[in-house]
Chain A
């Protein structure tokens, strides 16, 4: 495993404001995720693990501190730059898959490639390759409603890896799956990490999911504990 930190979280604080009330979600958190690492973030609800994941994925901004991913301090990027950065460097896996219902599996996987300078045939080839990696090339023309939960999540994983991102972030990727499907998805993520050296940061409540990761961090009240 490489020693270089792919993800550096430096003294990050995150405060949400609800009316006059301030809620401290992350309290000076620092974390390094080396390149090619598979990290699980665990902790009780409200501990700040999803918030931390969102900061690493560049879909939220810290109140203070820095988040450096692949050498880029994402906290310094403007909205448009951040979106473009996400399209190239982050693959996001949601708990509820978040596939677009009107698009086929192939079109869903192709979606992030619309933002890249690829021709139509290049986009199609890459999307098919990603579907092959997750073992669903035979379901390319199926719509999400025609797929099982596990298959939907694998399509979502294909969509996350199709741009060959710097880091894969997964928010409870097995949270909505039965145990067999969850096992398949975890196996897939493990092989992505092992064979393609993808850096993965995963939030999970599931101890079996966490067991697949190389490193497990526990958060409580916005801080890392042992």
Chain B
């Protein structure tokens, strides 16, 4: 500890370089935290899906709708308890930056299949009774200052749902959730009646997908096969999978995100390692005379190596601390980002996890140590007479 002020003096003396190195290290740790949180969120989004729910969609693509009459036929498949249609409406409220997910649903069975959306009974009743009624997640209601009874308009971005005028909705309920029982529940969504969309578009649309509640999660595979077998010879073949698999495949539409994020994280970490190692090497090269002087004064090679390593570790600690701070702040903001924020719900709401924080901090210290090791070794091996003679 008695050498600590000496190390700090050096870091302060080259303040600009120290600041840049710390920032580089902080950026690395920041990215590590955010990317790992993103990977956790992606994994959690599939893991939190109910194993009692199956999603049936068009076999070719989500873009194509399924015939409405598939609903009753799906309900007749043994093992299926409930069926509800759900269409991604793609509605925009006033401006694209006001994005929130919105769906046209078969309200009664849908709410029964998704018990995580908790509504007061009178609001639920009012919603079911009003064809133009909708229910809004607590976060979206808070975001726009909406309350029950308010009226707002949305216009869809999806061609079949564009009818030349906006759709008008009356807020009949604001749903919440039980975070302990249903972690990660999305409180930004808006649900309205499929019937309203169907009538407004001239009864020409189908169902985007069907959600199936099944009796026995253990029979998910068999039920899926039975469903898809039912429409095997039809013009609109189906693809049925568990909700988790559906979410995973949805995410996979934009590639192997986890691998991509890991590669980015690794590349960044390696780059920062090189940057920090280079900085430390420069610092040691500039201080050959000083190292020789210290050794002349009686500092052992181990002392000198410790001083250089100490500087590198302090850079790691400072960069790590700063990176954790920025990372935690940013992770809290992630769920609020339009379009992609939804993925981070639940995981990011809690901020940086202590485990990830500890890992990231350990990584920062390890990076600092690794970056400082070679320069420290050079300092260790520096011969007094050689260094003094060359300077």
Query: With A102-B13, A103-B9 as given contacts, are A87 and B289 in contact (CB-CB < 8 Å)?
Result: no
Asked if B385 and A111 make an inter-chain contact with CB atoms under 8 angstroms apart, the answer reads no
Asked if B385 and A60 make an inter-chain contact with CB atoms under 8 angstroms apart, the answer reads yes
Among B10, B293, B296, B302, the residue within 8 A (CB) of A102 is B10
Question: What 0/1 pattern do residues 78 to 122 of A give for CB contact below 8 A with B?
Answer: 011001111110101010001011110001000110110000100
Query: With A100-B290, A103-B6, A114-B6 as given contacts, are A87 and B297 in contact (CB-CB < 8 Å)?
Result: yes
A57 touches B (CB below 8 Å): yes
Asked if A87 and B298 make an inter-chain contact with CB atoms under 8 angstroms apart, the answer reads yes
Asked if A83 and B6 make an inter-chain contact with CB atoms under 8 angstroms apart, the answer reads no
Query: With A59-B295, A86-B296, A98-B293 as given contacts, are A114 and B385 in contact (CB-CB < 8 Å)?
Result: no
A54 touches B (CB below 8 Å): yes
In the complex, chain A residues whose CB is within 8 Å of the CB of B2: 114, 120
A202 to B295, CA, bound (A): 20
A175 nearest CB across to chain B (Å):
14
B374 touches A (CB below 8 Å): no
In the complex, chain A residues whose CB is within 8 Å of the CB of B296: 57, 59, 86, 92, 94, 98
Asked if B302 and A84 make an inter-chain contact with CB atoms under 8 angstroms apart, the answer reads no
- Give the one of A57, A80, A102 with max B CB within 10 A: A102
In the complex, chain A residues whose CB is within 8 Å of the CB of B270: none
Query: With A102-B10, A102-B13, A114-B6 as given contacts, are A92 and B301 in contact (CB-CB < 8 Å)?
Result: no
Asked if A88 and B298 make an inter-chain contact with CB atoms under 8 angstroms apart, the answer reads yes
In the complex, chain A residues whose CB is within 8 Å of the CB of B6: 103, 107, 111, 114
> What's the dominant secondary structure at chain A's contact region?
helix
Query: With A100-B293, A102-B13 as given contacts, are A83 and B385 in contact (CB-CB < 8 Å)?
Result: no
Asked if A112 and B293 make an inter-chain contact with CB atoms under 8 angstroms apart, the answer reads no
B3 touches A (CB below 8 Å): yes
A91 nearest CB across to chain B (Å):
9
B300 touches A (CB below 8 Å): yes
A88 to B289, CA, bound (A): 21
B384 touches A (CB below 8 Å): yes
Asked if A59 and B9 make an inter-chain contact with CB atoms under 8 angstroms apart, the answer reads no
In the complex, chain A residues whose CB is within 8 Å of the CB of B297: 86-87, 92, 111-112, 115, 159
A150 to B13, CA, bound (A): 24
- Give the one of A79, A94, A101, A114 with max B CB within 10 A: A114
Asked if B301 and A79 make an inter-chain contact with CB atoms under 8 angstroms apart, the answer reads yes
Q: Which of B262-306 contact A (CB under 8 A)?
A: 289-290, 292-303
Q: Which of B298-328 contact A (CB under 8 A)?
A: 298-303
Looking across the interface, which residue of chain A has its beta carbon closest to that of B11? A102
Looking across the interface, which residue of chain B has its beta carbon closest to that of A86? B298
Question: What 0/1 pattern do residues 60 to 86 of A give for CB contact below 8 A with B?
Answer: 100000000000000000011001111
Sort A-B residue pairs by CB-CB distance and give the 7 closest, nearest first: A87-B298, A102-B13, A83-B300, A98-B293, A86-B298, A59-B384, A102-B9
Identify 20 new A-B residue pairs, CB closer than 8 A, beyond the known A86-B298, A94-B388.
Answer: A54-B384, A60-B384, A79-B301, A80-B300, A80-B301, A80-B302, A83-B295, A86-B297, A87-B299, A90-B298, A92-B297, A94-B293, A102-B9, A102-B12, A107-B6, A111-B6, A114-B3, A115-B297, A115-B299, A120-B2
Give the A-binding residues of B (Cβ under 8 A).
2-3, 6, 9-10, 12-13, 289-290, 292-303, 384-385, 388
